[in-house]
Structure formats: structure tokens, C-alpha cells
Homo-oligomer: A and B are copies of this chain.
């Protein structure tokens, strides 16, 4: 068997503190624009099946328990104790927690306590801009407060994240990034002031930043900070970011592409082609459940083994953190173990690569072990 050390989960969110009914729980399982179609349920997905396989045993039930039975047991234990068991059952040593705006979730500290693990913060750039806008009366104050917020975050956080890099389009484009013509360069001060002025003038309180110039300004602020920068590519083609990738090469920044399925092979290709680009080995693993080993194997085609980092992508339901970790660990052992069994890899190399992807790469890239 491949030896995998305790994991570093390079991208997740906190978990909900409240008790959940069947419908609320189900709604968190997949990314859907609406409720399940008539006659269907989100439990009938790879994610739903993976949750039913891995989580019931952590709460004292048999695998594949029916959803209602599982939810009943979960209520019996309460949300805190359930989260505690689920998080501790998946052998994760450290979490990078994105504190971006997805509701009232546990903080990194709370997650660390529940999981008996370390937790570090990843700061969403968009959120910094929105908070600065909410508290600034003028363009000049906004830009100064934003700079201060980035500076402050850089001192305490493990990474920055941008959830909407494809929105940095100079012209119109499709939501998935296809056909975008990103302007890769940092905008000038006058351009930034103009964009900030227009955005602040038209923005309702709490309104999200979608302005391409401001987003580029945020990205370049993060680059200047020296922290790693996570870019969410969702289900879009990360090749749309190639211009920005080229423009940031050799500046000392590290770019981590998150998401990517079904474009994960393209993300791996970028990690091969550019020394400062890293790919996410969690991309879609928990979501694809029984297929996780197939998806992971595709990532391992081109991505240099020192450039892949595990994540669960979990959030709201601690089940998603647990499933992400357990599915990844099983997939990694199966894929690497298979290559060893057929003679393609040596045991020693397989163990070494497992340790890199599971934890070592993340520890190095995010400098988690510095004192």
C-alpha cells in the first residue's frame, strides 16, 4: 500500500453551525441553478453516493445508509459533534480556509478546533474590495483602504484568492472564459481611479466587484504581495488566463489554478509549461466520487508531481471536507499503486509522489512550516 501522510487541504470553506433538514442538506451537494428536477434528487449523484459511502461509518452507521437515516443520525449527534467526527475521520493535518462570502460559516480557528488540525486563512480579493468600498467615502480613501487591507492580509494569510479571474476581460466574453480577451497587464493608476470612481458611484451597498480594471488591479496587488494567488477557473478553460500567466512569470509569484474540471488536463498543462503555475489535485475528486481515480490519473499525465496540490473544495457541509479527503486518499493509492504493480513506477517513487501531492507541495508553496 502507498503511504500517504496526513493531508493539507489547500482550499475549503468553513461549515454551517446549524442543524440541517433533508432538503437543506441535499441542496448543498451539487452546484445547481435550482432545485432538483421533478422525479430526481441530488442524492442520486456521484457526490451523493460518495457521501453515503464514506460518512455514515464516521457517525456509526453502515456505508450506503439511506439519506433519511443518515440525516436522522446526524440530528441525533447534533451539528457540532457530527462535524467533529467527520473532520477528524479524514486525517487532514492542515486546512487553508477561504473566508470569502458564502454565508455564516465557522472561522478557520473553529474549523481547526473541530478537526484537531491547523488552519490558515485564504483571503478573497473581491471581498477586500467590497469591504473597502463599504467603509470608504471617496475614491482616494477606497484605494488607500484597499491597499492597507491587502497589506494587512498579506501579513497574516497563507494565500490570496480571486473567484472571478475570467471577469477581467477587456471586452465581452462568455461566462466560462471561452473567447475572452484578457488584458494581462496591471492597469495604470489613472485607469484604476477612473474604474473605482465609476464602480463606487453605481454600486449598491454590499455590491460585488465585477469591473475588469478593478479585478486586474486586485490581481496585481496580490502578485506584488508575494503570497501565492489562487485563481478559480470553475468549469472554464484555464487557457483563457495564459496572458496573465505569461505576464506574471519570473516575478516571484506563485499561481494556483483551482477547479478546472472538465478542463483539468489543460490546467495540468499550464502547470507543466510555467514554473510559477500549480494545479489543484482535488479538482472534482469529491464531486466525481467513484470516478475520482480516473480524474486524478488524468491530472497526473502532464502536471509535474511537484506542482499538484490536494484540496477538498469542501464548504458548508463537513461531509464535503471528509469525502474530498477520503476519496482523494483512496484514488491516490489506487492510481499510484496500480503503476507500481505494473512496473511503471517504483514503490519508492510512488510513496514520494504521494507525500508531495498530499501535503509536501502545499507546505512548500504556502510556506506553512515557517516559524
Q: Which residues of A contact B (CB under 8 A)?
A: 30-42, 44-46, 49-50, 53, 63-64, 174-176, 178-179, 235, 237, 239, 242, 246, 249-250, 254, 261-262, 265-266, 269, 272-276, 284, 287-291, 294-295, 297-298, 300-302, 304-307, 339, 342-346, 348-349, 353, 356, 364
Q: Is the interface of A mostly helix, strand, loop or mixed?
A: loop
Partner of A300, one of B40, B46, B265: B46
A to B CB contacts below 8 Å, 15 in the list: A33-B246, A37-B276, A38-B364, A39-B306, A40-B304, A49-B344, A49-B345, A53-B345, A174-B242, A178-B239, A179-B179, A261-B301, A290-B339, A290-B344, A291-B297
Partner of A288, one of B261, B287, B301: B301
**Complex CA–CA separation, A128 to B239 (angstroms):** 31
**Complex CA–CA separation, A38 to B249 (angstroms):** 14
**Complex CA–CA separation, A29 to B260 (angstroms):** 25
Using Cβ atoms and an 8 Å threshold, which residues of chain B touch A345?
49, 53, 64, 290
**Complex CA–CA separation, A249 to B32 (angstroms):** 12
Q: Which 4 A-B pairs have the closest CB atoms?
A: A40-B306, A262-B265, A290-B344, A64-B346
Apart from A33-B274, A284-B302, 14 more pairs, CB < 8 Å: A31-B272, A32-B274, A33-B249, A36-B304, A38-B364, A39-B364, A40-B305, A46-B302, A174-B239, A176-B239, A235-B269, A262-B302, A290-B344, A294-B301
